[in-house]
């Protein structure tokens, strides 16, 4: 299953390069729930353009935090290991995955950025489906992008929003 709705806590698995869908298929065949956030991206080749679905976080897949299946997961071809945070398996909250799923379903332009939030202003969104969320702003080519940290795996989401709905926080 490819949905984050049924488990309170999730672990992130680190995968071999470009093995996200293969590992997802193997997990599904073994009856293990997983979540692989996919986003549509326009790919340009010399002779054509095409919309394709790609993993939002390359090299990661999310599985329910369940000690009974942890050892089994390490033997799935393509799995390198568990993402670790502060010396233990990284825990990703269900709410974080539900926000990801909501952004994807609503068609927001999303890109994953590695690293921490060290630049930009702290902001809060005042209107729209993201109302109440706080984060930081990154200015790119005259467009405003809202950054949300998924701290447990050291990733940041970049979501395009209108400047009119932002309030700067002190």
25 falls within a domain: yes
Phi, psi angles (nearest 5°) of residue 26: -65, -40
98 falls within a domain: no
142 falls within a domain: yes
69 falls within a domain: yes
Torsional sign, CA 21, 53, 110, 46 = positive
2 falls within a domain: no
Per DSSP, the chain holds a count of helices (H) and strands (E) of: 3, 14
> Does residue 55 share a domain with residue 15?
yes
Residues in the chain: 170
> Does residue 89 share a domain with residue 15?
yes
Task: Please report, for the domain that includes residue 27, its CATH number.
Answer: 3.30.70.940
49 falls within a domain: yes
Specify the number of domains making up the chain: 2
> Does residue 13 share a domain with residue 83?
yes
Q: What is the pLDDT along the chain (170 residues), one digit of tens a residue?
A: 565 556 789 999 999 999 999 999 999 999 999 999 999 888 888 899 999 999 989 899 999 999 899 999 999 999 999 998 878 898 998 888 888 888 888 888 787 765 433 346 677 676 666 677 777 666 544 566 666 666 667 777 777 766 656 666 76
Tell me the C-alpha distance between 117 and 43, whole Å.
28
Q: Is the pTM of this model over 0.85?
A: no
CB 79 within 8 A of CB 34: no
**Helix-, strand-, coil-residue percentages of the chain, each rounded to 5:** 20, 45, 35
117 falls within a domain: yes
> Does residue 71 share a domain with residue 25?
yes
Range of the domain at 86: 9-93
1 falls within a domain: no
Task: Please report, for the domain that includes residue 156, its CATH number.
Answer: 2.30.30.30
Determine the 3-state secondary structure of 35 from DSSP: strand
């Amino acid at each position: 299953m490819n949905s984050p709705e049924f488990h309170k806590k999730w672990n992130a698995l680190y995968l071999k390069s470009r093995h996200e869908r293969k590992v997802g298929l193997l997990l599904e065949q073994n009856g293990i729930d997983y979540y692989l956030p996919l986003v549509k991206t326009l790919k340009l080749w010399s002779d054509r353009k095409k919309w394709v679905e790609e993993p939002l976080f390359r090299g990661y897949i999310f599985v329910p935090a369940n000690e009974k299946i942890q050892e089994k997961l390490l033997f799935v071809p393509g799995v390198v290991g568990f993402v670790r945070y502060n010396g233990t398996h990284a825990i990703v909250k269900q709410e974080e995955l539900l926000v990801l799923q909501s952004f994807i379903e609503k068609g927001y332009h999303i890109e994953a950025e590695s690293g921490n939030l060290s630049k930009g202003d702290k902001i809060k969104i005042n209107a729209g489906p993201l109302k109440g969320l706080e984060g930081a702003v990154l200015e790119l080519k005259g467009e405003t992008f809202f950054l949300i940290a998924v701290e447990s795996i050291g990733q940041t989401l970049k979501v395009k929003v209108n400047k009119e709905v932002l309030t700067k926080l002190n």
